[in-house]
């Protein structure tokens, strides 16, 4: 059997060439990293949960007309996506202060922000993904003004959708990060939500207790990461309500 071609191996996923041109297979690994990969571990079951959760969010977004790279899930750890040219930015949307914003501006974690704040970081691990402004983005040609208008509008639509979905299951969406890709249909370029949406890339707090249900559990050693991600998946109906010890997932 021919071995498929690996395109890229990142910290959390492996990309393989897909079956048709313009497609990619995303394989979700169990590896967890934080603080620019200074902290590392293998968390059994994380990849399966993130594959299912990202599928759930991407499908929900397409249902409300937000374009994404998602085509279909292939199996427990893999999904087929459209191959895109990733805009080299981490697009962060914040509803409540936390993490680096709290540190930078001295605002207590959990403080509600006056309105959603969108930030951009330049995707460069060697530099530690530094915060940049639209001035940098335009001057260095990472994205055009038209792209940035579309990026902002996508980011805010994703925020509305995700906040609502989470609120309905008793979870506060503190902040999240997305990546945006360009796809070409003939001569036309359009932007789609790419990469993944999962508790690895969101901050999610239980509304009642404030319990962290996201990657901060790993960053801050707050207990079992798979318990936290399984809890999110169960509340969203992605996992059966009765809690299996290992993520035996429904199809």
Ligand X SMILES: Nc1ncnc2c1ncn2[C@@H]1O[C@H](COP(=O)(O)OP(=O)(O)OP(=O)(O)O)[C@@H](O)[C@H]1O
Residues that bind ligand X (CB under 6 A): 8, 10-13, 15, 24, 69, 81-84, 86, 123, 125, 179, 181, 194-195
The answer to whether 70 and 81 have CB atoms below 8 angstroms apart is yes
Token pair belonging to 178: 């997305």
Q: At 25, give phi and psi (nearest 5°).
A: -100, 125
CB of 25 to ligand X, least distance (A): 10
CB of 169 to ligand X, least distance (A): 25
* Choice between 81 and 233, CB closer to ligand X: 81
* Choice between 10 and 19, CB closer to ligand X: 10
d(CA 197, CA 94): 15
Burial of 151 (0-12, 13-18, 19+ CB in 10 A): buried
CB of 184 to ligand X, least distance (A): 12
* Choice between 181 and 247, CB closer to ligand X: 181
Q: How far apart are the first and last CA of the chain?
A: 27
CB of 191 to ligand X, least distance (A): 12
* Choice between 32 and 148, CB closer to ligand X: 32
């Amino acid at each position: 059997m021919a071995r498929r071609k690996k395109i890229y191996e990142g910290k959390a996923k492996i990309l393989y060439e897909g079956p048709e041109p313009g497609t990619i297979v995303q394989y979700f690994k169990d590896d967890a990293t934080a603080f620019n990969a200074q902290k590392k571990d293998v968390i059994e079951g994380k990849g399966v949960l993130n594959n299912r959760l990202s599928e759930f969010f991407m499908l929900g977004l397409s249902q409300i007309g937000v374009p994404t790279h998602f085509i279909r899930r292939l199996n427990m750890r893999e999904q087929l996506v459209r191959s895109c040219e990733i805009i080299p930015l981490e697009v962060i949307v914040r509803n409540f202060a936390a993490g680096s914003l709290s540190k930078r501006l001295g605002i207590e974690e959990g403080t509600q922000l006056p309105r959603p704040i969108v930030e951009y970081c330049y995707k460069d691990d060697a530099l530690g993904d530094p915060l940049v402004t639209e001035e940098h983005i335009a001057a260095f040609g990472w994205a055009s003004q038209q792209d940035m208008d579309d990026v902002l509008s996508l980011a805010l639509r994703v925020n509305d959708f995700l906040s609502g979905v989470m609120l309905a299951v008793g979870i506060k969406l503190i902040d999240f990060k997305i990546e945006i890709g360009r796809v070409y249909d003939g001569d036309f370029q359009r932007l789609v939500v790419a990469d993944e949406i999962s508790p690895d890339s969101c901050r999610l707090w239980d509304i009642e207790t404030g319990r962290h249900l996201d990657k901060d559990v790993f960053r801050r050693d707050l207990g079992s990461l798979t318990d936290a991600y399984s809890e999110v998946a169960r509340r969203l109906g992605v996992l059966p309500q009765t809690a299996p010890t290992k993520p035996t997932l429904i199809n």
